[in-house]
Chains A and B, each alone.
Chain A
Amino acid sequence: MSEQPTRVTVEAIVRADAPVAPEASRLRRSWLVVGLGALAAAFAVSVSLGPAGLPLGGVVTEMVSALPGVDVGEGLSDRHAAILWQMRLPRIVLGALVGGTLALAGAAYQGVFRNPLADPYLLGVAAGAGLGATLAIAYGPDTTSWPVDALPIFAFVGAVLGVALAWGVGHTASSAQSVATLILAGVAIASFLTAIQTYVQQRESETLREVYGWILGRLSTSGWHEVLLVLPYVVVSTIVILLHRRLLDVLSVGDDEAGSLGVRTTLVRLVVIGAATFGTAAVVAVSGLIGFVGIVVPHVVRMVAGSSYRIVLPLSLMLGAAFLVATDLVARTVFSPAELPIGVITAFFGAPFFALVLRTSRRFGL
């Protein structure tokens, strides 16, 4: 590692090299508006539609009345109000948190690994969480009297341990091979944890449906409980990743170059992977394994808004949130009143897209 120049120097270099046009700041603002618009639209449609046919006027009245200092009376019966405030809204908010976090973490992983096909589950988050969840379902303590379920805790711990293992096995000091080694370690650890998970699941066959349902992913909430559970992790993880948006741009020119610019690549990698992992582990703990969001959304963002992480990261966050809220609307309504697992829908749209990216990934300047 060379001595670290001042932050200003690095920023100057990034500015000079950045693949962002001079009017970048204006561009950024307009994309910000697009992202927020998409999120607002997804929210508005989702709050109005659902398996329980709430009267639209009543929903609007309730929502307006909820604004501080506004009171236009109650728009809904008690039961309908409970559906809106205790079921539909928390689920939408949770969907936004999960989708935003997965997309942001995916974009961050892609930056850290300089690999367009990295996703937040790359290093064993998914396998670790799956093992944790399966253990909780099979052998978990009876937590009916606890304030919090065992499953999210087990899943979270499993996810974090999975990545820590992969890092421990695959982390090398030599920058040349560090990325590939880390990815390989992630693959190995994930296979190992999945083997244990499958063994437990087959052994305790009565847990099969519950485990399977969890793996497919779901946004079922019990009121605002899950939202409050993941919020701190999501907020901290988002802030840390967004603070590293410029450094990820520097990393994208290659480890050696970035190192010669004074960026401590290993440290940046560790911090970003750590933040992305904690965020991902938290949302996976409450929503299961919702696939493809972490890959699809950042790629769409790159295609429309360029590859600078200063745009890709915040826009992935917003579009990921909007995407999952919209997807969950499909999950709630297409077979209404039955649920379709949300992981099925994201994969249904995501898999063909993923294949397309695979075919054309060389076109992207990543």
Chain B
Amino acid sequence: MRTQHRIATGMAIVLMLVAAACGDDGDDGTVTESGQRPEETTAPADDDGGGTFPVTVSADNGEVTIESRPEAIVSISPTGTEMLFAIGAGDQVVAVDEYSYYPEEAPVTDLSGFQPNVEAIASYEPDLVVLSTDPGDVADGLERIGIPAIHLDSAEDLDDTYRQLELLGVATGNVGSAAEVVSQMQTEIDEIVATIPDDLAERTYFHELDSQLYSVSSDTFIGRVYALLGLRSIGDEAPDDAGNYPQLSEEFVLDADPDFIFLADAQCCDQSPETVAARPGWDTLTAVEEGRVIVVDEDAASRWGPRIVDFLREVADEVLATADAG
């Protein structure tokens, strides 16, 4: 479906005074537009936390200069979309790619983030474009027609996530709320990690990306998140040549007998604790016998945005709930 062009009329509302209402009740970690105060008409954003323009940020495609506060952002990165909405830039977003269906109010279009098309993006007349993969020099193409584009590669660790959130805050004029989001994330993560007793550390897990038994090593973003809880991927046994997302052999998974199996392929590939238990031979696994096959939200697990906190909480709860069984 196509969204209507939302043409920004007048100056937009500056949200820095509004605490980013990060859902700390686990429903979602995004700021909704309820944070706006319509009566607050506006002076042009100056340095009161909304940021100053023109501004230059240093993204993965080099230095990008944004002349004025963007009012028509196109995001063709699902993670970028989640970040933009979390830092209160949601009302500046006019179009997002087909997989940016979170949060719900994101203006999903049929733009492809997988094969971004400069012309299709330009048709939304954006004044800022956010992308996470750039297979075809899209950022350059946009630059040539005068549209600033920020390329933010997938994060390798949480610090990258915080850096990207802050960068988007600067680029969109939401510096204050971006800082809020980051500090809130850090606080919540510390709280979650503190709930895990030390004797639970050094447990192993098998994170299943798909039914072909692709998994992750601890050197991935998600692996580092698991590591916060003291969990270690059995994928680490694979040699470096196999990459950070090794396809593990079935024999090995059975032999390694991980303490936890996290299914990140429940929605995409219809896997469930039942289907895992039904695989020939898998019923001998401790994790299967003791009910430690856990379905995780595969979007939250594959993006590096604010929802990683919810993912961490979900995993921590499961780890604690099943701790006695171990």
Contacts and interface: CB of A to CB of B under 8 A. Distances in A.
Contacts of B281: 79, 82-83, 85-87, 223
Contact of A51 (B114, B241, B251, B270): B251
Interface in A73-118: 78-80, 82-83, 85-88, 90
A144 interface: yes
A339 B249 contact: yes
B24 to A, nearest CB: 31
A337 B280 contact: no
Contacts of A335: 238-239, 241-242, 246
A206 interface: yes
Interface in A54-90: 78-80, 82-83, 85-88, 90
A220 B251 contact: no
Interface in A184-224: 202, 205-206, 208-210, 213, 218, 220, 222-224
A332 B255 contact: no
A336 interface: yes
Contacts of B213: 220, 339
B249 A338 contact: yes
Interface in A335-351: 335-341
A298 interface: no
Contacts of A224: 280
A220 B238 contact: no
Given A82-B284, A220-B212, A222-B280, A337 B248 contact: yes
Interface in B264-307: 268-270, 272, 275, 279-281, 283-285
A144 B270 contact: yes
Interface string B169-200: 00000000000000000000000000000000
Contacts of B241: 335
A79 B280 contact: no
A52 B252 contact: yes
Nearest to A332: B249
Contacts of B270: 142, 144
A337 B249 contact: yes
Nearest to B249: A51
A352 interface: no
Given A86-B281, A338-B242, A209 B257 contact: no
Given A218-B212, A335-B239, A79 B254 contact: yes
A337 B212 contact: no
Given A202-B115, A335-B241, A339-B249, A83 B254 contact: yes
Residue in A82, A87, A222, A338 with the greatest tally of chain B CB atoms within 10 Å: A338
A340 B247 CA distance: 8
A332 B251 contact: yes
Contact of B214 (A87, A208, A209, A332): A209
B125 interface: no
Given A82-B280, A83-B281, A87-B281, A339 B248 contact: yes
Nearest to A339: B247
A52 B255 contact: yes
Contacts of A86: 280-281
Residue in A87, A90, A220 with the greatest tally of chain B CB atoms within 10 Å: A87
Nearest to B255: A52
Contact of A213 (B212, B238, B239, B268): B212
Contacts of A83: 251, 254-255, 281
Contacts of A88: 251
Contacts of A222: 279-280
Nearest to B256: A337
Contacts of A332: 249, 251
B105 interface: no
Interface string B146-182: 0000000000000000000000000000000000000
Contacts of A130: none
Contacts of B280: 82, 86-87, 90, 222-225
A335 B246 CA distance: 9
A249 B298 CA distance: 57
Interface string B202-214: 0000000010111
A22 interface: no
A50 interface: yes
Contacts of B283: 82
Contacts of B246: 335, 337-339
Interface in B219-252: 234-235, 237-239, 241-242, 246-252
Contacts of B253: 337
A206 B268 contact: yes
Contacts of A340: 242
Given A79-B257, A335-B238, 13 more contacts: A51-B255, A79-B285, A332-B249, A332-B251, A335-B246, A337-B248, A337-B251, A337-B252, A338-B235, A338-B242, A338-B247, A338-B249, A339-B213
10 contacts: A51-B255, A80-B255, A205-B112, A218-B212, A223-B281, A332-B251, A335-B242, A337-B238, A337-B251, A339-B213
Interface of A: 50-53, 78-80, 82-83, 85-88, 90, 142, 144, 202, 205-206, 208-210, 213, 218, 220, 222-225, 332, 335-341
Interface of B: 99, 112, 114-115, 210, 212-214, 234-235, 237-239, 241-242, 246-257, 268-270, 272, 275, 279-281, 283-285
